Amino acid sequence: MSRYCLFFISFWLLGSFSYSQKKLASLSGKVVQNDGNPVPGVTLLLEGTSIGAVADIEGTYEIVGIAPGTYTIAISGIGYKKTFRRVDLPSSLQVKLNIVLEVQAKELDELVVYGKSEATEMREKAYAIQVVEAKEFKNISTDVNQILNKVSGVNIRQDGGLGSAFSLSLNGLTGNQVKTFIDGIPMDYFGSSLTLNNFPANIISGIEIYKGVVPIHLSSDALGGAINIITDKRPMSYIDASYSHGSFNTHRGAINGQLYNKKSGATFRLKSFYNYSDNDYKIDVNLLDVETGKLSDETTEVRRFHDSYESRMVWMEGGITHKRFADELMVGIMYSDNFNDLQQPPQALGTTAIPLGEVIQEEAKWITNLSYQKKGLIGGKMNVSSFLVYVNSQFNLKDTSSHRYDWMGNREENVHTTTGEVERKTLFQLDRSNLLGNINTEYEILPNHNVSANLSFNSMTLEGTDELHAQKNTQFSKPSTVNKSVAGLAYTTKLLSSKLHTTVFGKWYQFGLNTTETDYSGTEEIDFTSNASELGYGFASTYFVRPGFQLKASFESAYRFPETEELFGNGISILPNIFLEPEKSKNYNLGLRYNFKPTKNNNLQTDINLFLRDSEDFMRTETVGVRSTFENQASVLATGVDMNIQYMLKNNLRFSLNGTYQDLRNNGKWVKGREGSQPDPFYEDRIPNQPYLFGNLAASYNFSEVFSADDNFSISAIQNYVHEFFFNWPSLANSSTKAVIPTQFTSDLELVYTKNNGKYNLSFTAANILNERVFDNLNQQKPGRSFAIKARIFLTQNLN
């Protein structure tokens, strides 16, 4: 590990001197609309290079470090006609160029551009990527999870209310098999304080969803798919504040802002949020008569009483952005914590007869980060980005109460004096520290030929105590270390007059684990070490048959090593399994994208993806009773299709339908450990406890100029469907005796009003409006009808 650290330090020292010192030209100006109003967010690119800029909120832009010569500038912005300008740039000259753009009927079929260089954009285009623009969701009372749940191929299974556990599945892979990133940094290191479930939509500018094949710059060991959340980084000063209040005493506030000085490039960013909810939604329980042990035949509606959740986060970053030597050089510090009451053992199937009244878990984290990004080095041919992150977190889990509760919230004192509410008493403290680093470089060797390289490492140490629980105390008293590193190399090319984009890549993974094996009584203490290194590879290709018609194909042979929770459990209901083998998967994807626009006002857009995942040692949870462990399923074959159809009439009416069918089957012919002697009776059976048919339907209507010229009102109805599935292997036992997670069908309604072109926003959400009884993957009841109202204000100011 130390050699990586050394490498990083050298990189950081050299980084700031490495930009080219030639006498270069620069280009600046202002982008305006036909009516003279400034156009922010427009991308300007010098064709044939990867140099470019994004216009700021005032429409001004500056492109620096241009080698002298004659260039064509491509100017593109959503809603505007793409424009080209020829410009002559002599040495050392600062050229002014103002640009007038023509407004065009809004087109949403193109990928959203985040001001990335052409190289980055091109590289990504080949992947089976779907991009969600957060703009349309920002005003609604949503977290990232709720946005993702509307994307085809994605299904989010959330256990309860705000802050509760969830798992995301993407094209047949679930949970940790799909990695999430924030601006390229793996999100799992932020822990439970910062997850898709509590990350407010305000902070983000977009979400990239990579299905099946993960580009090397998202360097981690994802098995098949990645989600990258991109936070807002535009060069401007702004403040974005929101507050929402909803059912179950839910409060969510977020304040985000940026101070940017154009002259010095000095930038200060703040991201912060506060979330609180009692989560005291009503559920239907069969009340227990403790005396007779009988559950009542009738259900009674009760309120959950020990399920509150609180989380806070403040992340401050300061540094320089949009300067010659760095597009971004930032140092940041983040603190976050969360506090969670547990109402029942999280892995229990259905509602427990005896609820928990005092079990809590909490986590606090300090994170420091350093990031550097520069595009257009060496005459515009090279892009570099890098980050270093140090994470220190403390997790506590407490189950020490001797009291017993019932669903009416009554407490009976000292019923079990020496045991906790779940099992043995536990007072578990786990300290975790991570050092993560990443360097990514891209280089244009020839026009239309790019290479990129990526190197990342993650070194983690875990150490914990439990004065009441011998097994956990032994397991964690000696520090456990987990080291992972991934190196990637990719080559990207554009052929056939840029109609065919192809990337080929290789990844080298290394994994090392040092930990302790113990037993129930905590007396055994055996050192356990495991090391592995693997080579992955793949390609991604896209072909533009004609404008609006695109074909995509990709393949990856991917590896994933077990994560902390999979190896070490969660301290309460997930038991450790330090013997987990890495997962391997060969992922094949085929996609088609078609945009049909028969008339000016009609637009039909279709996406279809076919996928196949051939996985070995597939990790999945096996639940027995109230506990579960992660196990390796020897072989799993997943095939499926996801599709998305969207129809737009003018810019007002929009219908979208997306659906996913994924068929995950056990592909192992033999019972594990008995290869060659005992055939697996569940061969070709559907993998249990996984939704396989789901989708959603949305209709929205948009009114502009309702009360004034600069306001907007929209109403949307969204319906979500998840077909029923078995909790256990489908062929086990008689199907009428089996635990089934019933079909879920919910309808949500969203109303959004914005004024002053998005400065002031007010939204209202009614979720599960028909108050359907819906259940999570463990048959625990989810919230019924709920309402939330959200106010958001977005103010910008140019400090120059």
**Under a CB-based contact definition with an 8 Å cutoff, are residues 585 and 184 in contact?**
no
Comparing CA positions, the residue from 196, 200, 199, 328 lying closest to residue 260 is 328
Residue 439: CB minimum distance to another protein, A = 44
| Closer by beta carbon to another protein, 368 or else 410 | 410
Residue 615: CB minimum distance to another protein, A = 18
Name residue 630's beta-bridge partners: 621
| C-beta neighbour count of 98 within 10 angstroms | 11
Residue 402 CA neighbour count, 13 Å, CB half? 6
Sort 180 into a burial class: Cβ within 10 Å, 0-12 / 13-18 / 19+: buried
Residue 726: CB minimum distance to another protein, A = 9
| Closer by beta carbon to another protein, 266 or else 749 | 749
**Under a CB-based contact definition with an 8 Å cutoff, are residues 213 and 127 in contact?**
yes
Residue 328: CB minimum distance to another protein, A = 43
| Closer by beta carbon to another protein, 229 or else 687 | 687
| Closer by beta carbon to another protein, 295 or else 795 | 295
**Under a CB-based contact definition with an 8 Å cutoff, are residues 352 and 400 in contact?**
no
What is d(CA 599, CA 648) in angstroms, rounded to the nearest whole number?
11
In the chain the first and final C-alpha atoms are separated, in Å, by: 45
Name residue 461's beta-bridge partners: 433, 481
DSSP letter, residue 298: S
CA-CA distances (angstroms) from residue 484 to 1, 317, 459, 530?
Answer: 9, 27, 6, 12
What is d(CA 282, CA 539) in angstroms, rounded to the nearest whole number?
49
Phi first, then psi, for residue 121 (nearest 5°) are: -60, -45
| Closer by beta carbon to another protein, 751 or else 791 | 751
Comparing CA positions, the residue from 355, 354, 352, 339 lying closest to residue 398 is 339
| Closer by beta carbon to another protein, 414 or else 529 | 414
Residue 692: CB minimum distance to another protein, A = 16
| Closer by beta carbon to another protein, 479 or else 522 | 522
| Closer by beta carbon to another protein, 337 or else 748 | 748
Mapped onto helix, strand or coil, the DSSP state of residue 408 is coil
Phi first, then psi, for residue 412 (nearest 5°) are: -110, 125
Using the structure block, give the residue that is written with the tokens 């109403």. 715
| Closer by beta carbon to another protein, 39 or else 342 | 342
Residue 721: CB minimum distance to another protein, A = 10
| Closer by beta carbon to another protein, 452 or else 747 | 747
Q: Which amino acid is at 611?
A: F
| Closer by beta carbon to another protein, 321 or else 628 | 628
Residue 523: CB minimum distance to another protein, A = 4
What is d(CA 676, CA 672) in angstroms, rounded to the nearest whole number?
10
Residue 773: CB minimum distance to another protein, A = 8
Using the structure block, give the residue that is written with the tokens 């690119």. 45
Helix (H) or strand (E) holding 719: strand 712-722
**Under a CB-based contact definition with an 8 Å cutoff, are residues 337 and 365 in contact?**
yes
Residue 341: CB minimum distance to another protein, A = 19
What is d(CA 633, CA 616) in angstroms, rounded to the nearest whole number?
7
Residue 288: CB minimum distance to another protein, A = 6
Residue 301: CB minimum distance to another protein, A = 17
